[in-house]
Amino acid sequence: MSVLGVVVVTGKSPRVQAVVLEGSLDAPTVADTFELRTSSTDPAEQAVDLARHIAPKVTGVGYKVVAIRVAGASPVGRRNKATFSRAHCEGALIYVIRTATGKPVTVVDPVTAPKSVGMKKPQLEELVDGLLSKGVNREAVLAAVVGLAGV
């Protein structure tokens, strides 16, 4: 059984980093990782590009769960271009993933993640940190672990 954990990372332009976990919550393993980029400079087009790029990665693959780590809601005064760009991308990804897989997408909030997997925060952090290696995004692993717990 495999689950996909996804996170949108902002910077010069947003990109998607993803990790595929296999196994169970007691003994998960990283099976694959990938990153998707956009060449567009327009925020709306960036969201569409990333959504188009993820569609073939989830169509017909048979993931039990796809989970996306979403950005927290920041106060209105702190909203900036990067936050809105990330939110646009996350929304587009959720729509495309749900359409491609026919299943709901698990939305992961890092604040409530420990409770949703039935662990204390230090236990969850230890599990996630144990799965990290070069090229593996911590937040994508967190999303995948929460997805694995829901299977």
Span 128-133, mean pLDDT? 92
The answer to whether residue 104 scores a pLDDT higher than 50 is yes
How far is Cα 11 from Cα 94, in angstroms, rounded to an integer? Answer: 20
Q: How many domains does the chain have?
A: 1
Q: Domain holding 64: CATH number? A: 3.30.420.10
Show the domain range for 27: 2-149
Q: Which of 8-22, 82-96, 97-111, 116-130 has the lowest mean pLDDT?
A: 82-96
Three-state secondary structure string covering the chain: CEEEEEEEECCCCCEEEEEEEECCCCCCEEEEEEEEECCCCCHHHHHHHHHHHHHHHHCCCCCCEEEEECCCCCCHHHCCHHHHHHHHHHHHHHHHHHHHHCCCCEEECCCCHHHHHCCCHHHHHHHHHHCCCCCCCHHHHHHHHHHHHCC
| pLDDT value at residue 60 | 85
pTM reported for the whole predicted model: 0.89
Residue entry with tokens 């169970």: 24
